């Protein structure tokens, strides 16, 4: 093995190295019985992050304009509680938030049904803690989703 090949395997990561040795990981969501693409397939990271950014921006806008009345310090303190309330309420009632709807996403239980209110409250709380959402499995499901038995799918 030359140095270029060794460097490439280091940059690609362990999954790419295992795939070169013949391991088959399948597609994202295959282990969960989700389709490869289209409606009901697992949401990719770009859509999920985009939806999160839209929801965070809206929460900041509400906190700044409606609640803090232009006071930036107060708005910073209120942004996270507004995000929590907005996300928990919308996800509990409709299964989607404004950002998720714009990006064509929905949060469902593993069996495809609507998640319960306690599931959405705990999921949103864990999402606000950031770390559980930043740790993903090979299906790109965050720990906040795994903890409550939900997943984000494409509409």
Residue 14 pLDDT more than 90? Answer: no
Its pTM stands at 0.80
| Long-range pairs, 47-50, Cβ under 8 A, ≥24 | 47/103, 47/104, 47/105, 47/154, 48/103, 48/105, 48/152, 50/99, 50/103
pLDDT band at 12 (very low <50, low <70, confident <90, very high): low
85-113 pLDDT, tens digit per residue, is: 999 999 999 999 999 999 999 999 999 89
Residue 47 pLDDT more than 90? Answer: yes
| Among 116, 18, 96, residue whose Cα is nearest residue 54 | 96
Other Cβ atoms less than 10 A from the Cβ of 30: the count is 15
């Amino acid at each position: 093995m030359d140095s270029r090949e060794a460097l490439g395997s280091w940059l690609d990561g362990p999954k790419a190295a295992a795939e070169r040795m013949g391991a088959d990981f399948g597609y994202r969501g295959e282990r969960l019985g989700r389709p490869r693409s289209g409606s009901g397939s697992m949401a990719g990271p770009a859509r999920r992050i985009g939806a999160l950014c839209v929801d965070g921006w809206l929460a900041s806008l509400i906190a700044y304009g409606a609640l803090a009345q232009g006071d930036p310090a107060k708005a910073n303190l209120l942004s996270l509680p507004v995000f929590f309330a907005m996300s928990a309420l919308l996800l509990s009632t409709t299964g989607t938030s404004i950002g998720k709807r714009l990006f064509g996403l929905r949060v469902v239980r593993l069996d495809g049904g609507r998640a319960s209110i306690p599931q959405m409250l705990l999921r949103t709380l864990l999402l606000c803690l950031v770390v559980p959402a930043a740790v993903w499995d090979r299906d790109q499901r965050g720990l906040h989703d795994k903890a409550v038995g939900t997943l984000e799918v494409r509409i």
